[in-house]
């Protein structure tokens, strides 16, 4: 768009009037100048109005030409606002979900700690029960070892295990338990059997020492 311009005023006519008056012309120079100025003013005003109308038409044309661009820009802004609003809702939902997940994680951690504690207690109880059972139960293996195995150094180990069980069931706090009450008679029978076998073993050894040893036969 071209910038508006104004034509320069032409003062050549005024100069001619002034020279004519100096040479003795009849017309008053002031009046002539005023008459000329009015004409020039109308001419300038008409020129300005024409240029203003031209500028107005060009401005309207520019607005019409840019209307589609501004309309597209406005639609893009509205679409962007819509996307931002959706993202804001999604972020709000995501934060809410994170809060729920954090609460679930805390609950799972608490449950895990409780389960771990229960497992440790169960293992400790299982160990105690295993020790208790092994200390009061009369196993078939121990019965066979006491009643059938040869009396030697290994037999002393079987007797030691039997004595531990007897000492355990004889404790006052253990005698109130049904399992100990059932095991005590069986352990006592094993003790009696072990005593009898050891007695027979010692008698055999003593008798073998009493027998005279025969010397070598002389022919």
pLDDT > 80? residue 45: no
b/e code 183-216 from CB counts within 10 Å (16+ = b): bbebbeebbeebeebeeeeeeeeeeeeeeeeeee
Amino acid 198: pLDDT: 92
pLDDT tens readout for residues 69-117 = 777 777 888 888 888 888 888 888 877 777 778 888 888 888 888 888 8
Amino acid 197: pLDDT: 92
Average pLDDT of the residues of the chain: 76
Question: Comparing 129 with 24, which gets the higher pLDDT?
Answer: 129
pLDDT band at 196 (very low <50, low <70, confident <90, very high): very high
Q: What is the 3-state secondary structure (H, E, C) of 93-145?
A: HHHHHHHHHHHHHHHHHHHHHHHHHHHHHHHHHHHHHHHHHHHHCCCHHHHHH
Q: How far is CA 19 from the centre of its chain?
A: 101
pLDDT tens readout for residues 174-194 = 767 777 777 888 888 899 999
Question: Comparing 212 with 76, which gets the higher pLDDT?
Answer: 76
Q: Taking residues 120-129, report their average pLDDT.
A: 82
Question: Comparing 172 with 90, which gets the higher pLDDT?
Answer: 90
pLDDT > 70? residue 34: no
Of the chain, the percentage scoring pLDDT greater than 70 comes to 69
Three-state DSSP at 45 gives: helix
Q: Where does 137-174 have alpha helices with state H?
A: 140-148, 153-169
b/e code 134-155 from CB counts within 10 Å (16+ = b): ebbebeeebeebbeeeebeeeb
| pTM: predicted TM-score of the whole model, two decimal places | 0.42
Amino acid 1: pLDDT: 47
Amino acid 144: pLDDT: 92
Amino acid 41: pLDDT: 72
Sign of CA dihedral 187, 192, 198, 200: negative
Q: How far apart are CA 19 and CA 40, in angstroms?
A: 19
What residues contact residue 136 under an 8 Å CB cut-off, 6+ apart?
Answer: 165, 168, 169, 174, 179, 180, 183
Residue boundaries of the structural domains of the chain = 12-45, 91-134, 137-207
pLDDT > 90? residue 67: no
């Amino acid at each position: 768009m071209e910038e508006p311009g104004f034509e320069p005023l032409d003062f050549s006519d005024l100069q001619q009037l002034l020279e004519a008056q100096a040479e003795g012309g009849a017309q008053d120079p002031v009046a002539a100048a005023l008459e000329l100025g009015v004409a020039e003013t109308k001419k300038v005003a008409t020129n300005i109005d024409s240029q203003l109308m031209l500028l107005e038409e060009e401005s309207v044309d520019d607005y019409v030409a840019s209307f589609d661009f501004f309309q597209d820009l406005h639609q893009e802004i509205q679409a962007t606002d819509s996307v931002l609003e959706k993202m804001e809702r999604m972020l709000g939902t995501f934060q809410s979900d994170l809060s729920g997940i954090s609460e679930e994680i805390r609950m799972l951690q608490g449950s895990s700690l409780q389960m771990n504690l229960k497992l440790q207690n169960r293992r400790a109880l299982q160990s105690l029960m295993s020790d208790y059972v092994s200390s009061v139960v009369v196993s078939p293996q121990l019965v066979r070892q006491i009643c059938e195995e040869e009396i030697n150094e290994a037999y002393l180990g079987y007797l030691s295990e039997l004595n531990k069980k007897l000492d355990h069931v004889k404790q006052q706090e253990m005698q109130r338990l049904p399992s100990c009450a059932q095991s005590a008679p069986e352990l006592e029978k094993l003790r009696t059997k072990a005593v009898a076998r050891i007695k027979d073993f010692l008698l055999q050894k003593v008798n073998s020492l009493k027998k005279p040893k025969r010397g070598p036969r002389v022919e």
